[in-house]
């Protein structure tokens, strides 16, 4: 009942107290827009979509410089509405248009993403869509955004209930082979690390030296052969 009331209150507040600046996405199933609070002038992202609010509700109480802050969440009859911090900056895809990164730069970005993922994994959340477009470079900070493909790991599930993720970054288990856990995000980080260093997927061109060996370990087909958890990868880096 409480989340239902929050849902109605949030829709009403966005209608009367916020101006819509622009839409990032708009369809029958999903609306994502940039809104400005009329009184304070603060910018937020407003999301309204078909799906449950479980992951976003877990993030309500979390503050991490490498994750956007979730301000309010409400759910009603299979629809979720939420307000989150607007993270200003270029996404990593745009950043990479300026050229490849040095090993040190790629390592720094990956370590900060490890920090974000450690927070998520500690709560049982698997992001499942780590890719350049979901990573914002904000000054010296790196922020992982967009939890629409994220899910809660459930001990009794043998496979994911919904196949989501981005081709090229999604781990094999995300295609229904088994239930994805934090090691699926490690797989995506390995692909990302290689792209930052070479501009190519590791299947086409593998980074050289130690970084290449790290990429190979991250992207093993079997999750059991990857780094055991995100902290292990962070320490290796």
List the one residue out of 48, 40, 37 whose CA is nearest residue 6: 48
- What are the tokens at 155? 């001990």
What phi and psi, each to the nearest 5 degrees, are found at residue 5? -65, -40
- Chain centre to alpha carbon of residue 160: 17
Identify whether 148 is a catalytic site residue.
no
Angle at 30 between CA 24 and CA 36, to 5 degrees: 45
- What are the tokens at 55? 């992951």
Contact 114, 233 (CB under 8 A): yes
Contact 92, 132 (CB under 8 A): yes
Which residue in 8, 19, 90, 129 is the catalytic one?
Answer: 129
List the one residue out of 157, 156, 153, 186 whose CA is nearest residue 171: 186
SS3 at position 63: coil
Which residues partner with 75 through β-bridges?
Answer: 80
Half-sphere CA count of 216, side-chain side, radius 13 A: 9
Active site residues: 129
């Amino acid at each position: 009942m409480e989340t239902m009331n929050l849902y109605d209150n949030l829709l009403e507040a966005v209608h009367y107290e916020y101006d819509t600046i622009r839409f990032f996405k708009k369809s029958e199933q999903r609306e994502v827009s940039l809104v400005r609070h009329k009184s304070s002038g603060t910018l937020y992202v407003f999301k309204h979509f078909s799906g449950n609010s479980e992951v976003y509700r877990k993030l309500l109480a979390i503050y991490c410089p490498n994750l956007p802050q979730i301000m309010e969440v409400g759910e009603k009859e299979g629809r979720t509405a939420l307000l989150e911090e607007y993270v200003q900056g270029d996404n990593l895809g745009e950043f990479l248009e300026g050229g490849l990164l040095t090993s040190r730069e790629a390592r720094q970005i990956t370590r900060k993403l490890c920090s974000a993922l450690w927070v998520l994994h500690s709560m049982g959340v698997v992001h499942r869509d780590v890719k350049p477009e979901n990573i914002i470079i904000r000054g010296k900070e790196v922020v992982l955004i967009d939890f629409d493909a994220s899910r809660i790991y459930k001990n009794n599930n043998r496979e994911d209930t919904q196949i989501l993720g981005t081709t090229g970054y999604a781990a094999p288990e995300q295609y229904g082979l088994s239930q994805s856990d934090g090691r699926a995000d490690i797989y995506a980080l390995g692909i990302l690390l290689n792209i930052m260093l070479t501009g190519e997927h590791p299947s086409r061109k593998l980074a050289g030296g130690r970084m290449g060996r790290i990429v190979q370990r991250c992207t093993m087909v079997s999750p059991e052969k990857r780094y055991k958890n995100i902290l292990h990868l962070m320490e290796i880096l």
